[in-house]
Structure 1
Amino acid sequence: MNNWLLTNDRQKRNDKKNPVQEKSFAFAIRIVRLYQYLVKEQKEFVLSKQLLRSGTSIGAK
């Protein structure tokens, strides 16, 4: 199979919306905002850092 067909196939897959990816990205954004709030307003550093690491780990590939 030539490279053009492989590239075209990958582009088609990337154009489709992936609901799991979208939901996990939205969740990660909420986790980051919660982390920012905890650090800024509550002065909580240890727990908020762990929350940030574990809450955004779903996006790791």
Structure 2
Amino acid sequence: MSLLVEIDRYLRLTGVSPSTFGRRTVNDPRLVHDLRAGRMPGPGIRARVEAALKEVQ
């Protein structure tokens, strides 16, 4: 599953806004917007996002 799909699923399940998610995980409120626009996250960002997503599972 792609990272963006996993983030969108998390957002739906938790009701957290995209900007709040980005701010909490990588201190970037535009993260989800930028990913939706085609931004490719680096390995550090990817690792931090994946760690945040695993906390909920």
Q: Same fold (TM over 0.5)?
A: no
**Bigger Rg, which one:** 1
Whichever structure has more helix as a proportion of its residues is: 1
TM-score in terms of structure 2 length: 0.36
TM-score in terms of structure 1 length: 0.34
